């Protein structure tokens, strides 16, 4: 009789452990709010730079999806206008609320700071929406204001720091 009770306790314990592990290994859901250009240079922002920002959005989304380590969630239409009205880079915590409303675990966004046509900086941020805690902040400097330099900079950051 003791053996049956012991076996039942062990079986229940193993069952509980596997459920916890399955939850721990769930793919994090990310609400990605895109990249924003912060132009602190003396040159005006060009249409080519605006297109490069959209290109970084595509690269980021595709890379995370292809990695299998993250699941990007769609931003609901009713949130799109609120997100557009509040630039994420300076929204003071709204990104957490937006992510939770979208059904995501993490909020992600990026910035490109243009210091000049020679010096630019790409930054990626990820925050745990429930814990209100940054979980990823990385930056790369790039030289040159070209499609190739922007793409290579973001790809380097993602491959060496986020995707591994």
pTM: 0.81
Containing domain of residue 147, as a range? 27-162
- Please write the tens of the pLDDT for every residue from 53-83: 999 999 999 999 999 999 999 988 888 887 7
Rounded distance, CA 8 to CA 47, Å? 67
Rounded distance, CA 55 to CA 114, Å? 16
User: Once rounded to an integer, what is the mean pLDDT over residues 24-35?
Assistant: 88
Q: Quick check: is 102 in a domain?
A: yes
Rounded distance, CA 144 to CA 128, Å? 33
- Domains: count for the chain: 1
Q: Quick check: is 81 in a domain?
A: yes
Q: Quick check: is 4 in a domain?
A: no
Q: Quick check: is 17 in a domain?
A: no
CATH of the domain at 50: 3.40.50.10610
Q: Quick check: is 5 in a domain?
A: no
Q: Quick check: is 130 in a domain?
A: yes
């Amino acid at each position: 009789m003791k053996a049956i009770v012991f076996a039942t306790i062990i079986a229940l314990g193993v069952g509980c452990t596997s459920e916890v592990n399955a939850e721990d290994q769930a793919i994090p859901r990310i609400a990605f709010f895109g990249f924003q250009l912060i132009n602190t240079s003396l040159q005006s922002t060009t249409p080519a730079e605006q297109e490069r920002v959209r290109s970084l959005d595509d690269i980021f989304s595709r890379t995370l999806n292809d990695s299998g380590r993250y699941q990007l969630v769609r931003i609901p239409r009713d949130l799109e206008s609120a997100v557009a009205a509040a630039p994420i880079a300076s929204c003071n915590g709204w990104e957490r609320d937006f992510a939770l409303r979208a059904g995501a675990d993490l909020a992600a966004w990026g910035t490109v700071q243009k210091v000049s046509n020679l010096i630019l900086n790409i930054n990626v941020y990820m925050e745990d929406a429930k814990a209100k805690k940054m979980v990823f902040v990385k930056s790369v400097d790039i030289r040159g204001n070209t499609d190739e330099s922007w793409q290579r900079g973001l790809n380097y950051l993602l491959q060496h720091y986020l995707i591994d």
